[in-house]
Amino acid sequence: MTREIARRARRLAPIGDTGEYVDGITTHYHGGWTDGRLVGEVEATAPHSAAVEFGNAGNKHSAQHVLRRAASGEG
């Protein structure tokens, strides 16, 4: 499921000049079970990931909510 969410996030992500945000969307599987479920995570590692996801005062674009939208099944 984490790989599918990451694929959706990459499709939804703004490309920008360098593609660094898209390239920085990664998945991690931690092994084992938590509350009867396997646990993994999707992470955006580019330095500006928080600004893309949540926006900021200096950002000319508003929040994109890429990871949230991907986890919700969009994209």
Query: What pLDDT, on the 0 to 100 scale, is given for residue 59?
Result: 61
Query: What pLDDT, on the 0 to 100 scale, is given for residue 30?
Result: 77
- H helix runs in 1-75, sequence order: 2-12, 20-23, 49-54, 66-71
Low-confidence ranges of the chain (pLDDT < 70): 58-60
Q: Which of 15, 23, 29, 12 is nearest to 67 (CA)?
A: 12
Q: Quick one: tokens of 32?
A: 């084992």
Q: Which of 1, 8, 17 is nearest to 44 (CA)?
A: 8
Query: What pLDDT, on the 0 to 100 scale, is given for residue 65?
Result: 94
Q: Can you give the pTM of this predicted structure? A: 0.83
Query: What pLDDT, on the 0 to 100 scale, is given for residue 11?
Result: 95
